[in-house]
């Protein structure tokens, strides 16, 4: 009974954490604010779908003015948001219902992910460790970020699907072949890839694990791989038919599901079926070197297939994106930045985001060494190696690594408690358990921030900026007609959502000209160039927040002042007229009207 309460208790803590986020003002959803530009753009996209009914048209007409912006996102999360908003719309109207459901979708997905984690880990770890999973999971920084209230984004959905896929594939590794298990895992994997092609990594990571298991032990692993990949191919093909219009089914794109990914799934299915059929030959595949030779030939065949039919796949999902964007604006996005940018900050960042790894990975290696059949634990270790490396490359992968880390960490807590229990009285045993769980879940990130950064206090504090976008949006919404606003890209999608106006850029990679024009407008030292951009883009208003972190792109240290520097210093050109915003005097927003 105590264990049951221990398992359930983290679900209430999730709700408490989300309430604290709102109460602290960190994410002010009560006053209509969402977490980051992606959240607003997702709601813009869903509103357009609801109002127009155009399933295949993902253009946001009022972004990238006057041309419109095509998004790379796909429809699964859109439909979840539409479904929830539709159910609430009779009470408060669709747009208000969409905001409410969108704000709540993160905590709801986190509760589902917490249940999925406990289910996924059941066949791997000791039962007495299951209550610890929830406490560890909800305290991870990447998990908190991806499921935070007011963030209607696909990252939380991806973690939920990752846990479901992991739970099914761990059972595929451990238990004998079962059709339903293989095809259900294939369906979950395909839906995850449909949501975002970043899921190619966990899906094909498991396919690689299955192939390695077949090389090592033979058995029914090739059969499992064959049916899993066949189901993956079929489900991805169906997803592509649903997502893309008929004329685009054969178009190769790399930042969302396309014929490229369906083709790779088909090739992997063909290779795994060859492994399966070769395995039925009996004595030949009973020898390790023959299985290794067959697997090597299959891998080379797959690589050759991709190289012949879609060589750009190896250049990554951003292969068609202007390199200038990748080296300027996109590098400023926190989730896309490396975990460690300098040697000095390495201990802090590693311990804050991946602190459990310092304890869980050595313990996991000991478990694998002692276990007679450590198949599932090896799967966890391989996953950790991949996702920790990816997290070092881009912080956006942290939640995947953290999710896997909590499983061996919970098992480590079981071992520690088994060691402590006979040495302490019951009352002290309960206190020791509470102390250990708290130390593992909260102590590591707090230690990183509080103890490992003493020199931070000696640094010169950065200038705080105050740009109340809600107040600015309210004023802009009162202006008659539809205006085109050129502003910092971080504000673009929010202005599209909260005003009737157009913006030049919202900072998404499929809008290269909008990003480059915004960069050129603000960073130019020639006012004539900035005016030419304003004329070409039919700009009516220029909105600037001085001191915003994005501003470092526009005001590099140089001898000549940039156009952004001139605006914030009060040296605006004659073709711009200042507009007084009805805000507090300490606001850092500056608004200018373009004089035709």
Chain centroid to CA 252: 23
> Looking at the predicted structure, is the pLDDT value of residue 424 above 70?
no
Instruction: Give Cα separations from 568 to 352, 514, 588 (angstroms).
Output: 36, 22, 9
Query: Which of 299, 320, 341 is the endpoint of a domain?
Result: 320
Q: For 174-226, write each residue's pLDDT tens digit.
A: 999 999 999 999 999 999 999 999 999 999 999 999 999 998 888 889 999 99
In a domain, 301, yes or no: yes
Residue 153 lies in a domain: no
Local confidence band at 14 (pLDDT 50, 70, 90 cut-offs): confident
What are the Cα distances from residue 521, in Å, to 50, 325, 473, 577? 34, 15, 22, 17
For residue 68, being part of any structural domain is answered with no
Positive or negative: CA dihedral 523, 527, 528, 530? positive
Total of domains in the chain: 2
**Residue 525: phi, psi to the nearest 5?**
-95, 0
Q: What is the pLDDT of residue 218?
A: 82
User: Does residue 448 fall inside a structural domain?
Assistant: no
Spatial distance between the Cα atoms of 21 and 25, rounded to a whole number of angstroms: 7
Final residue before a domain boundary, out of 320, 340, 362: 320
- Rounded mean pLDDT of 448-458? 48
Residues 6+ apart with CB under 8 A from 166: 120, 202, 383, 404
For the cut 60, the answer to whether the pLDDT of residue 473 exceeds it is: yes
Q: Tell me which residue range forms the domain holding 234.
A: 176-320
Considering the domain boundaries, does residue 530 fall inside one?
Answer: yes
d(CA 312, CA 335): 24
Examine residue 261 and state whether it is found in any structural domain, yes or no: yes
Residue 544 — very low, low, confident or very high, per pLDDT cuts 50/70/90?
very high
CATH number at residue 478: 3.40.50.12610
Closest CA to 16 of 112, 98, 100, 135: 135
For residue 150, which of 110, 91, 202, 203 has the smallest C-alpha distance?
A: 110
Q: Which of 292, 320, 348 is the last residue of a domain?
A: 320
**How many Å apart are CA 481 and CA 501, to the nearest integer?**
8
Exposure class string for 89-119: b at 16+ Cβ within 10 A, else e: beeeebbebbbbbbbbbbbbbbbbbbebbbe
Q: What is the mean pLDDT of the segment spanning 276-288?
A: 70
Which segment of 120-124, 310-314, 368-372 scores lowest on mean pLDDT?
Answer: 368-372
CA 425/CA 429 separation, integer angstroms: 6
- What's the whole-number average pLDDT of the chain? 88
SS3 284: helix
Higher pLDDT, 435 or 225: 225
For residue 310, what pLDDT is reported?
A: 93
In a domain, 519, yes or no: yes
Asked if the structure places residue 224 within a domain, the reply is: yes
In angstroms, the CA 565 to CA 571 distance is 8
Q: Each residue of 486-529: pLDDT tens digit?
A: 999 999 999 999 999 999 998 888 888 899 999 999 999 888 99
């Amino acid at each position: 009974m105590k264990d049951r309460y221990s398992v359930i208790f983290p679900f209430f803590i999730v709700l408490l954490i989300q309430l604290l986020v709102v109460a602290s003002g960190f994410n002010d959803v009560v006053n209509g604010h969402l977490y980051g530009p992606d959240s607003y753009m997702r709601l813009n996209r869903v509103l357009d779908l609801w109002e127009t009914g155009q399933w295949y048209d993902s253009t946001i007409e009022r972004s990238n003015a006057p041309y419109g912006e095509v998004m790379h996102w796909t429809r699964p999360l859109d439909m979840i948001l539409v479904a929830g908003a539709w159910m609430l719309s009779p009470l408060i109207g669709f747009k208000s219902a969409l905001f409410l459901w969108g704000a709540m979708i993160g905590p709801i997905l986190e509760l589902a992910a917490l249940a999925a984690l406990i289910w996924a880990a059941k066949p791997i770890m000791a039962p007495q460790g299951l209550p610890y999973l929830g406490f560890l999971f909800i305290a991870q920084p990447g998990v908190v970020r991806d499921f935070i209230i007011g963030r209607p984004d696909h990252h939380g959905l991806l973690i939920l699907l990752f846990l479901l896929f992991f739970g099914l594939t761990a059972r595929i590794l451990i238990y004998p072949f079962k059709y339903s298990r293989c095809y259900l895992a294939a369906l979950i994997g395909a839906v995850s890839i449909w949501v975002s092609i970043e899921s190619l990594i966990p899906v094909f990571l498991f396919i690689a694990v299955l192939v390695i298991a077949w090389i090592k032990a033979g058995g029914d692993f090739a059969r499992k791989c064959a049916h899993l990949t066949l189901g993956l191919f079929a489900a991805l093909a169906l997803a592509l038919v649903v997502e893309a219009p008929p004329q685009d089914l054969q178009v190769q794109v790399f930042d969302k599901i396309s014929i490229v990914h369906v083709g790779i799934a088909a090739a992997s299915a063909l290779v795994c079926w060859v492994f399966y059929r070769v395995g039925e030959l009996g004595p030949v595949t009973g020898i390790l070197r023959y299985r290794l030779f067959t697997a090597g030939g299959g891998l080379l065949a797959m690589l050759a297939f991709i190289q012949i039919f879609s060589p750009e796949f190896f250049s990554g999902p951003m292969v068609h994106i202007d390199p200038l964007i990748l080296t300027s604006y996109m590098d400023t996005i926190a989730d896309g930045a490396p975990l460690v940018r300098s040697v000095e900050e390495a201990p802090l960042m590693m311990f804050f985001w991946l602190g459990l790894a310092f304890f869980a990975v050595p313990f996991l290696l000991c478990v694998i060494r002692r276990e007679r059949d450590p198949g599932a634990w090896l799967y966890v270790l391989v996953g950790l190696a991949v996702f920790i490396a990816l997290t070092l490359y881009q912080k956006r992968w942290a939640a995947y690594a953290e999710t896997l880390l909590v499983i061996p960490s919970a098992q480590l807590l079981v071992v520690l408690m088994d060691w402590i229990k006979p040495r302490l009285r019951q009352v002290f045993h309960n206190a020791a358990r509470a102390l250990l769980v708290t130390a593992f879940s909260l102590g590591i990130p707090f230690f990183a921030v509080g103890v490992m950064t003493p020199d931070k206090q000696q640094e010169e504090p950065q200038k705080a900026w105050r740009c109340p976008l809600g107040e600015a949006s309210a004023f802009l919404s009162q202006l008659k007609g539809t205006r085109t606003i050129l502003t910092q890209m971080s504000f673009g999608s929010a202005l599209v959502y909260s005003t009737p106006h157009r913006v030049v850029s919202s900072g998404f990679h499929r809008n290269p000209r909008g990003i480059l024009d915004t960069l050129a407008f603000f960073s130019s030292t020639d006012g004539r160039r900035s005016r030419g951009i304003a004329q070409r883009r039919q700009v009516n208003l220029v909105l600037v927040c001085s001191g915003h972190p994005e501003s470092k792109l526009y005001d590099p240290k140089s001898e000549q002042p940039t156009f952004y520097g001139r605006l914030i210093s009060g040296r605006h050109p004659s073709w711009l007229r200042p507009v007084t915003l009805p805000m507090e005097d300490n606001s850092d927003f500056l608004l200018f009207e373009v004089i035709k």
